[in-house]
Amino acid sequence: MSDSSNQQWGGRFSEGVDAFVARFTASIDFDKRLYRHDIEGSVAHARMLHKSGVLSNNEMAAIIQGLEGILADIEQGKIRWSVELEDIHMNIEARLTERIGETGKKLHTGRSRNDQVATDIRLWLRDEIDLITDEIVRLQKGLVDLADKEAETIMPGFTHLQTAQPVSFGHHLMAWYEMLVRDYERLLDCRKRLNFCPLGAAALAGTTYPIDRNYTASLLGFHRPTRNSLDSVSDRDFAIEFCAAAALVMTHLSRMSEELVLWTSAQFDFIALPDRFCTGSSIMPQKKNPDVPELVRGKTGRVNGHLISLLTLMKSQPLAYNKDNQEDKEPLFDTVDTLKGCLRAFADMVPHIQSKPENMAEAARRGFSTATDLADYLVVKGMAFRNAHEVVGKAVAYGVKEGKDLSEMTLEELRGFSDAIGEDVFKVLTLSGSVKSRNHLGGTAPNQVREAVRAARLHLP
């Protein structure tokens, strides 16, 4: 490369770019990970140029062979990226010309880096979404299997983090499953909307060559070409949508994490996590810390941050392409990496969650979780619900004072609050009686949980 000019646009310039500016404006350090999709896009573009009569048979063959050679070199770590060549697109193009000579300079006919990069990110993100949704399904399968096993295990259900009513642990796990069903659908929806091919938009206005955009789009597995050239090169909605969907997945994983952290504490002691998902303390010998859920909860912050970065990146951009867009990559890449890591950790860990049914049941009893059942019992006996609520409230206050659950009181004690109470009351005061009686679609009865498990297994790919 000459001192005074860049080889890609030397004609217009009288001096070379400042060394710091070259580093400052370069994206090769991070966009090199688009290499495979950049080459895939270039091969399709070359085929299209050939079909349209712009490239000869030999030219197309030389270009494709050259690109395949470069791909092999990259995968074997034989390529040294150059900051002077700014980004992945110009690095590969320069390499191609080095390899095959003048014909390499024809690849960029009818194309710009603007439609090229818009295509590359879509191709790359489409593949990543497929990996991510696979990982969501793996996690869902783990949850469903565990829920099946734990359908009869009873824990306290909470509102306001105060003991509310007993629920099946399996039911709780299936609630997590439902969050992931929505996440999966959101990602598929995002994939559908990004699956359009910007190639042919060129810099912003289209090109004078007789291109066939439908052909390029179909070679690359896109649904069809994008419609408007200005929009094609400037649109990053798909990246924002993806980050929004990712932020929701992370929010869900973070809520699960919070519960796992609580449940593994000595105060709850509802579950144990295998040692290999935890770490110890360098000073406190007794410690076993739930690092994996804690880290997942923490990493949610950076993914939420990336969503805001991208929204802010786009908010003031005039049409069409602006260099600002180069800043879309790092947040997007980190979102993908973070999300994949967190999903993998969760999918690996969830099948090994060990419940402690005794502790869960004990906690449910301590919290008067069957109080609503007693009120409902009194309603069946003819009392208005508001009055029943009052009666049970007094019984609970007595239980708090005496240190007794409702089910531990004698019939005599209970009848002190209402003579509508009979021997049959003890059936509704047990945890399992309470859980079993919520037996309808979406309820916590163990057979409803098993039904939800069955439906999930049919639904999962």
Task: Report the residue number, 117 or 155, with the smaller CB distance to ligand ARG.
Answer: 117
Q: Based on CB atoms, which residue is closest to ligand ARG, 204 or 396?
A: 204
Binding segment (CB under 6 A) for ligand ARG, from list 43-51, 319-327, 406-414, 438-446: 319-327
Interface with ligand ARG, residue 27, by CB under 6 A: yes
Among 112, 75, 70, smallest CA distance to 95 is for 70
Q: In this complex, which beta carbon is closest to ligand ARG, that of residue 8 or of residue 359? A: 8
For residues 46 and 61, the answer to whether their CB atoms sit within 8 Å is no
**Residue 89 or 141: which CB sits closer to ligand ARG?**
89
Crossing angle of the two packed helices 113-149 and 169-194, in degrees rounded to 10? 160
Quote the least distance from Cβ 54 to ligand ARG, whole Å: 22
Which of these, 393, 367, 363, 400, lies nearest to 378 by C-alpha position? 393
Task: Please say which residue, 76 or 316, places its beta carbon nearer to ligand ARG.
Answer: 316
323 makes contact with ligand ARG (CB under 6 A)? yes
Say whether the peptide bond before residue 320 is cis (omega within 30 degrees of 0).
Answer: yes
Can residue 113 be called a binding residue for ligand ARG (CB under 6 A)?
yes
Only segment of 35-43, 192-200, 320-328, 334-342 that touches ligand ARG (CB under 6 A): 320-328
Q: Which of 103, 114, 226, 309 binds ligand ARG (CB under 6 A)?
A: 114
User: Stretches 60-68, 323-331, 378-386, 447-455: which one binds ligand ARG (CB under 6 A)?
Assistant: 323-331
Burial profile 387-402: b = 16 or more Cβ within 10 angstroms, e = fewer = ebbebbeebbebbeee
We find the least distance from the C-beta atom of residue 76 to ligand ARG, in angstroms, to be: 25
Residues touching ligand ARG, count (CB under 6 A): 10
Nearest to 428 by CA among 377, 394, 366: 377
Among 325, 369, 370, 448, binds ligand ARG (CB under 6 A): 325
Q: Select 38 or 241, whichever has its Cβ closest to ligand ARG.
A: 38
Per CB under 6 A, does 326 bind ligand ARG?
A: yes
Q: Which residues contact 217 (CB under 8 A, 6 or more apart)?
A: 196, 197, 199, 223, 224, 225
Cα separation of 447 and 44, whole Å?
54
Min separation Cβ 304 and ligand ARG, Å: 23
C-beta of 9: minimal distance to ligand ARG in Å? 10
Rounded CA separation 315/81 (Å): 32
DSSP 84-142: GG-SHHHHHHHHHHHHHGGGGGGTTTT--HHHHHHHHHHHHHHHHHHHHHHHHHHHHHH
Footprint (CB under 6 A) of ligand ARG, residues 291-310 = none
Stretch that binds ligand ARG, among 298-306, 318-326, 385-393, 413-421 (CB under 6 A): 318-326
Rounded least distance, CB 34 to ligand ARG, Å? 9
Query: C-alpha 411: how far from its chain's center?
Result: 53
- Min. distance of Cβ 216 from ligand ARG in angstroms? 18
Least distance from ligand ARG to the Cβ atom of residue 327, Å: 8
As a whole number of Å, the end-to-end CA separation of the chain is 53
Contact stretch for ligand ARG (CB under 6 A) within 68-76, 111-119, 279-287, 298-306:
111-119
Q: Tell me whether residue 106 or residue 113 sits nearer to ligand ARG (CB atom).
A: 113
- 38 C-beta neighbours (distance < 10 Å), count: 27
22/396 with CB nearer ligand ARG: 22
Distance CA 201, CA 429 (A): 70
Query: How is residue 100 written in tokens?
Result: 């095959």
Q: How far is the CB of 207 from ligand ARG (least distance, A)?
A: 15
8 Å CB contact between 42 and 108: no
Span 31-70, contacts to ligand ARG by CB under 6 A: 31
Active site amino acids: 160, 281
- Residues 393-401: contacts with CB within 8 Å, 24+ apart? 395/371, 396/368, 396/371, 399/368
Window contacting ligand ARG (CB under 6 A); options: 65-73, 112-120, 214-222, 267-275: 112-120
Residues in CB range of 168: below 8 A, 6 or more apart: 150, 151, 152, 153, 154, 155, 435, 444, 445, 446, 449
Nearest residue (CB) to ligand ARG, 91 versus 133: 91
* Geometric angle at alpha carbon 424, from 423 and 427, rounded to 5°: 125
Chain mean position to CA 146: 21
Torsion, Cα 336 342 345 349, to 10 degrees, reads -140
Q: Where do contacts with ligand ARG occur on this chain (CB under 6 A)? A: 27, 31, 87, 113-114, 117, 321, 323, 325-326
